[in-house]
Structure formats: structure tokens, C-alpha cells
Amino acid sequence: MEDMIIIAQKNILKAILTVIFPFFFFSGCTTNEVEITESSRSFGSIPQNRNILISHNPFTAAPHIINVSSYDPKEKQRSGSYYNEFDVRALRRNGALGLIARCGKGRKLDEECASFLAAGEKQRMLLGAYYFVLKGVDPSWQADKFVNQIKKIKLTKKLQTPEILLVGDFDSKSSVSDIIKFINRIEQRTGQLPMIYLENSDHLRRVLSGASRSQKQRIAQCPYWIALYSSDRKEMETPNRLMSKYGIWNQWSLWQYSGVYWNKRKSMSVIHNYSFGKYRSPKYYGDMSCPLERNIFNGTVDQLYSFWGKQSWKW
């Protein structure tokens, strides 16, 4: 996530039809009928479901979440909509249901987190925040820094959203102990387990697959946010195959399928998005003019709202 920066599709057709949702990716769905909920509803209101015509492509149908940091927004690369930390209407208009903002990295806080969360609340988006947990800095200290800052943001911005999803984004050099210390401290401070986002690295796969049974059981209590932008690595071509390499989870919750790299030589953001078989994502998100880090939820819109309510901190 930290080295990335991206999509999905606004043009959801109006026709009312029943479709088959690809079970291969969306094991969280319990029905063959994809129901897309009217996502502009306010907190606590009753969802109004409607069936829509979609292609057999999860990137088209799945609920979308955008993650952001002080590196955002990226530069404009084409004509179209734009956004900033104070105004995310374009993201919401293109279909994003949630916004996860970076709160900090190691010892440094992200100065745009508060503005992004306030902007997301204005658009009635689901709110989340992640902390990039650096190796070499006490994980418990970083967890405290995270919780303290989120509490401060809620107070200073007078946010009314009843809950926020907390995420630990772990350095590719992290140890099993680092991850568990962060998890434990977040739970101690909030009573809630964080979601786990793992940088896609051989080191993390090696140390986590070799963790003890009790360590794996502890980490598995946290929902998994998978990062997979390409199908180039053998035996890791799909989310489920990559997930199996850790030997911890049997289901992923969020999939970051599109990210952005900064090309120093060209001084521009380069989009990397997953395209494998029929599961292909467009380069840009809807009519957005800039690269975005994009994610899909493993389930329907109703399941997304239920998941968020269950996994979030009632701050």
C-alpha cells in the first residue's frame, strides 16, 4: 500500500436482472443473486436493494473502497473528475462506498488524515484509517500513536460517524512478534481487533507461514486485506492462491487490486492493476482523471455494511 497509489467502474447499467456472482473470488457471498444496495443511505437507515445487470467480472460488481494518504491526490493524467483531501465527492459519485486514510507511518503522523476523514464523512462514506507499522519502532508505541491520533481527529473535526475501521499495514520486514504486539495493543486500547494489511513480500510469507499454531490463530482473528496487483508470480496468480501461502486465513475481506508506483525517472505515477483471465480492471476509476489505490470487498454491499459495523471501533 505504502509504495502504491488506484479503480472500478461507474457505468453500472440500469437494467434489473439477476446475475451469477463469480464464486471463485467472492466466497463471502451466500447467494447467486448480486444485490447492490443504494449506497447513499445515511447511517442506520434501511437499505433498499435492487438487482442490476453486470458482467461476470468482480471488479464491476463488487463494493469499492478507496485508500488515501498525504501522497494523494496524484497528478492528473487525463481529463475527468478530480478530488482532494477536503472534497471527495468525485470518489463517492464514481461509486466508492468507503474511504481508508493513512493515519501515520512509524514515528510520523499523516497530516492529511483528518481532512480526508472529515471529507469522507460529508459524503456518508464508511470510514477507516490505517497505520503503516515500521520495523525498528516499537509496535505497541505505534499502536498507541494510532489510537491517540484517531481520537484527536474525531474530537477536533467533530466527526459524527459512529465507528471507524482500524488497519495495521505492516512493513515488508516485519516479524510475527511485531504483528502480534500491534494487534494486542490495539485490542487493549479499543476492545476491537484491527484489520491486517500485508505488504506483498517473500519475507512476510516466509515468517508467517513458519509461525507457531498459536501465533497463526491469533493473527487469523483479524480480517485480512490482501494486496495483489498482478498474476505474474507462479502459484500466487489469484487472491486465494496468495492467501494460502501464509497458512493463516481461509478468507480475505478486502482486495487491493490496483496500486500506483512512483517512477522517479519519468517523474510520474504509474498504475499497476490486476488483469488475469476475464477478471480485468480498467486503468482508471470511473471518470477520475488521476491514479487511485482501489480495493474491493469480498461480498455484497449489505455484507460490506454488516462487516464494517462488526469490525469497526465504536470510537
Using DSSP, state whether 91 is helix, strand or coil.
helix
**b/e per residue 156-172 (b: at least 16 CB within 10 A):** eeebebebbbbbbbbbe
CATH architecture of structural domain 57-311? Alpha-Beta Barrel (3.20)
Q: In what helix (H) or strand (E) does residue 139 lie, and over which residues does it extend?
A: helix 139-156
> Other CB atoms closer than 10 Å to residue 269's CB: what's the count?
22
Contact 165, 136 (CB under 8 A): no
Phi/psi for 81 (5° steps) reads: -75, 155
Q: Is 279 left (phi over 0), alpha (psi -120 to 50) or beta?
A: beta
What ranges do the domains of the chain cover? 57-311
pLDDT (tens place) for every residue of the chain, 315 residues total: 654 433 333 333 333 333 433 434 444 333 322 333 333 333 433 333 323 333 457 788 899 999 999 999 999 999 999 999 999 999 999 999 999 999 999 999 999 999 999 999 999 999 999 999 999 999 999 999 999 999 999 999 999 999 999 999 999 999 999 999 999 999 999 999 999 999 889 999 999 999 999 999 999 999 999 999 888 788 888 899 999 999 999 999 999 999 888 888 888 998 888 888 767 888 999 999 999 999 999 999 999 999 999 999 999
pTM of the model: 0.83
Q: In what helix (H) or strand (E) does residue 301 lie, and over which residues does it extend?
A: helix 301-311
